[in-house]
Structure 1
C-alpha cells in the first residue's frame, strides 16, 4: 500500500531506526510450475475460469511470487513454500486455503478446483513524450474490433513501474474495458527524475491520455482517468488541462491540501489514545501547523513555532500520542537531524497545491470513492467537501465504503492491534467499471458503499 509522501515515510523510518540502535482436481490439472524460488512472472495475465469468473495474476516486487485477484475484491499472494504454491489471505501472512496450480508458461491454471484458460488481449507497447521526458506506456484492449471504453491509470506516490505492476491492465479488459498504463517519470522505463510535483505529473497524464487515443484509434470509446491516493490530486488537474477526458475516477484521495494528510492523521492518533476533546485538538493543531511549515519548507522555517509548541505542550500526556505522517517524528528530533534527512530526499512535493479551485470548476464528471476508516488519508473532511460540491451542482458523485482503509481495503486486527488487510472491499472494482463504461452507478448495492452526493 502506498503512502502519499514516501520521502517523509523514509525519513521517519531512518530516524526512528537510528534512535532505537481444498485441493484442486489433480486428474485434470496442468503440469505444475517450477518449484521453490522459480520466477513466476510468465504466468502474469488474465484467465477465464470454467465457472465464468475472471481471474488476474499480477506481478509484485518478488519475481518468485504473484498476486491473484477476482472482480469481487478477493485477493491473495501466491508464493512457493517448501516446493508448493501457497496462497495467503490478502496482504497478510495467513494461509487462506486457496489452492492454485500453474502450468507451464502460456498454459492454463487450476484455481481452487476450477480450470482456467488464459485470455488474449490486444496489447501495444509504446513510448511517448511527456512534459520534457520520454515515457513508457502500454495500451491493453479486449481482443477484437469493437469500440471500448478506456481508462488511463494515474499514479499515486509509488516509485515503481505502472506498466509492470498495475493489475487493472489484466482484470479490466475481462469486462470489456481497455486500460492504458505508463511509467511515471523517473520510474521503470521512463526518463526524468521521480517527482511529486503535481503540475508536471498532470502534464504527463495529459500526454498519456492523448497517446492512448493515438494508439487505440477507432477502438477508443469513452476515455478518462483513474487515480488513486496521490492520483486524487493529479487526475482532476490533468482533466482540467485535457479536454478529451470524459470522466475522472478517484480512489482514496483527498479534496484537501497535502498538509491535511498529516494534520488529520494526528487527530486520529489522539482520538485513538483517548485525547479527542476539542481543547487538546486545538493544541495539537498548533503543533501540526509548525511541523507542516518545517516539512513544506524543507526545514527552512517553522522551528520557532515548534519550539513554542514544545514549551507549552511537550509535557502534556497527549504529546507522546502524536504520530501522523511526520509530525511525531519532527516534534522529537533536532533541526540538524531533520535537515540531514531532508538532504537525501528531494521530490518537489506540491505542498501548496489546493485542489478545491479545480474541483469547483471542472466540468468533467467525477466519481470519488473513499474509505471511511482510512488512517493514511483520513477522509472526514474530504467527505464534507465533496458532499457540499455535489449538492452545489458540481458533476461529482461521491461514495464511501464505511469500514475500508486506504486502498479501499478491508482489514482485521492482529494480536498487537495492527491492521492486516484481507481484501479489496466488495463492490469497489465493479463500481469503477460501471462508471468507466456508462458514467453512472446503476448496479447498487456495491457492497457496503454509501452514496454521499450526486445522482444515482
Structure 2
C-alpha cells in the first residue's frame, strides 16, 4: 500500500477534502519523459534490492529499500540526457542519492552501485469478486520452489493497487510472493468504489482463492496484509477464508470507524493546550453528535450538535477541534452538508466493530501501529491488542513509538507541519520475517517495541 495515500478515510473527510497524511505525489515542475518502464526490482552489486515503483504521474518514480529509505525521482528540468533529481521521502528536501536509469531494458546505477533487473514469474488475471470482476496479479520469485504469498488488502485509496503497490517488486526480491488486485471501482476492476468492509472482505477472500489457483502449486502458506482501512477488512476476510494462514495489519484500528475522529479530536485539543479531563468530556459530546451526523448521512445528530454548540461554541477550545470531520461538520450548516452527502455514497461501514472478529479469529495475526499516528491514533488500539494477547489470542502486536500513519518517520517544517522522510527502519523486514516464519526472530527491528505475543 502506497504510503503517499494510505489513510483511514471517512465519508465526510472525503466530502470536505480534509488533508491526508500524504495527498498525492508532488507534481514535477514540468512534465518529463514517461519513466514507467523502469518500474521493477533491481539487485545491486552489494546484494541489496531496490524497488522502483510508479506514481500517479508517468514522469515521476519512487524508489524504496528494505531498510525503509525512500525517495522521489523526476527528470531534471531541461535535461536532455535522462538525468534525474530526487527528494527525500515525501518531503521537498533535495536527496543526494544519485540514481541513473538506462534504457528500459537496461539496469540502473543506484548510489554508485550497479543494479540488474530481477526477473519474476508474473501472472495477470481477472477473477470474480462478490458480484464484480476484479483485476489481479500474482508475482513470484522466479523458479519452481514453493514460497509464502501475501495478498495485499487495500486501505481507503481509490487508485489501482496493481499499478501502484511497491510490495509486488520488493517482497519477491526477498523470497515472498505477492498477489495484488484492484479493489472494486478502481483501476481495471468493475463495480462501484466502496468502503463497505463486508463487501471488501468478500473480495479479499476471492483474491486469496485466485492466488492459490493461479499459483499452480507454488504457493506455500498464504495470508493477508492490510494497511490502514485494510486493518478492518483483512481480519474479517480471514474469518471467512479458512485457507488463510496469517494476517498482518499495519497502522489499523482495533476500534470502530467513529473512534478515529474522536481520538483525533483529543490529539487536536492536547496539542492546543486543552488536554484537561473536563474539556475532553465536553469535546466528547461534540464528537458523539458529529459522529451521529456522519454515520447517518445527516439524518440524525443535529439536535445533539445544536445542544453542544449552545453550551461550548464560545469556549476557547472549540476552535481547536479538527478531527477527521468533527471540526468541519461543527462549522457547516445542515443544508451545506446535505448538499455534499447527495454527491457521494461510499457505504462506509460506520457500525462495524472489529472486536468480535479479533476475539474469535484463530488465524495468527501481526499488528503494527505507530505510536505517534495522528491519522489513526493508536492508544486505544494498543490497549486492546495487549489485552487480546494476554487473553491468549494468536496476536503479536508491535508499536513503533515515534512513527506516524504508514509507520512513517517525519520531521517538522518551519510551520510545524510533518514532512515524512522514510518508512521506519525495521518495519518492512519485520513484515517479511513474520510472513516467512510466523515469528519475529530478528530483533531489534529499529525502534519497535513489542506489546503482546511471543518474541
TM-score tier, shorter chain, comes to: over 0.9
* Aligned mates of 1:111, 1:118 — CA distance in 2: 12
* Aligned mates of 1:234, 1:386 — CA distance in 2: 17
| Counterpart residue number, 1:269 | 268
Q: Is the 8 A contact 2:137 2:180 kept in 1?
A: yes
Q: Is the 8 A contact 1:122 1:141 kept in 2?
A: yes
Q: Is the 8 A contact 1:3 1:9 kept in 2?
A: no
Match of 1:50 among 40, 45, 51: 45
| Counterpart residue number, 2:402 | 403
1:218 alignment partner, SS class: coil
Match of 2:13 among 9, 15, 22: 9
* Aligned mates of 1:227, 1:280 — CA distance in 2: 35
Which string of whole-angstrom CA distances, capped at 9 and with x for unpartnered residues, describes residues 337-394 of structure 1? 1111111111000000000000000000000000000000000000000000000000
* Aligned mates of 1:106, 1:250 — CA distance in 2: 36
Which structure 2 residue ranges, 5 or more long, are not aligned?
20-29
| Counterpart residue number, 1:130 | 129
Flag as ranges the 4+ runs of structure 1 deviating above 6 A. none
Q: Is the 8 A contact 2:42 2:117 kept in 1?
A: yes
Superposition pairs of residues 259-338 of structure 1, within 5 angstroms: 259-338=258-337
| Counterpart residue number, 2:32 | 37
Q: CA deviation at 1:2?
A: 2.6
| Counterpart residue number, 1:60 | 55
* Aligned mates of 2:35, 2:414 — CA distance in 1: 33
Q: Is the 8 A contact 2:10 2:324 kept in 1?
A: no
* Aligned mates of 1:106, 1:284 — CA distance in 2: 58
Superposition pairs of residues 367-382 of structure 1, within 5 angstroms: 367-382=366-381
Which structure 1 residue ranges, 5 or more long, are not aligned?
16-34
> Over aligned residues, Cα RMSD in angstroms?
1.1
Q: Is the 8 A contact 1:177 1:433 kept in 2?
A: yes
Q: Is the 8 A contact 1:371 1:402 kept in 2?
A: yes
| Counterpart residue number, 2:66 | 71
Q: TM-score, normalised by structure 2?
A: 0.95
Q: CA deviation at 1:7?
A: 3.5
Which string of whole-angstrom CA distances, capped at 9 and with x for unpartnered residues, describes residues 208-251 of structure 1? 00000000021100100000000000000000000000000000
| Counterpart residue number, 2:422 | 423
* Aligned mates of 1:7, 1:60 — CA distance in 2: 25
Q: Is the 8 A contact 1:48 1:118 kept in 2?
A: yes
| Counterpart residue number, 1:169 | 168
Q: CA deviation at 1:104?
A: 0.2
Q: How many residue pairs align between the two structures?
A: 437
| Counterpart residue number, 1:86 | 85
| Counterpart residue number, 1:233 | 232
Q: Is the 8 A contact 1:366 1:395 kept in 2?
A: yes
Which string of whole-angstrom CA distances, capped at 9 and with x for unpartnered residues, describes residues 264-317 of structure 1? 000000000000000000000000000000000000000000000000000000
Q: Is the 8 A contact 1:36 1:81 kept in 2?
A: no
| Counterpart residue number, 1:206 | 205
Q: CA deviation at 1:14?
A: 8.3
Q: Is the 8 A contact 2:141 2:176 kept in 1?
A: yes
Q: CA deviation at 1:36?
A: 6.3
Q: Is the 8 A contact 2:122 2:137 kept in 1?
A: yes
- The 1:432/1:10 distance shift into structure 2, 3 A limit, reads same
1:4 alignment partner, SS class: coil
- The 1:14/1:270 distance shift into structure 2, 3 A limit, reads closer
* Aligned mates of 1:241, 1:119 — CA distance in 2: 35
* Aligned mates of 1:6, 1:166 — CA distance in 2: 22
Q: CA deviation at 1:12?
A: 2.1
| Counterpart residue number, 2:181 | 182
Q: CA deviation at 1:8?
A: 2.4
Q: CA deviation at 1:260?
A: 0.2
1:13 alignment partner, SS class: coil
| Counterpart residue number, 1:350 | 349
Q: CA deviation at 1:10?
A: 3.0
* Aligned mates of 2:332, 2:257 — CA distance in 1: 22
Q: CA deviation at 1:124?
A: 0.2
* Aligned mates of 1:256, 1:9 — CA distance in 2: 18
Q: Is the 8 A contact 2:179 2:211 kept in 1?
A: yes
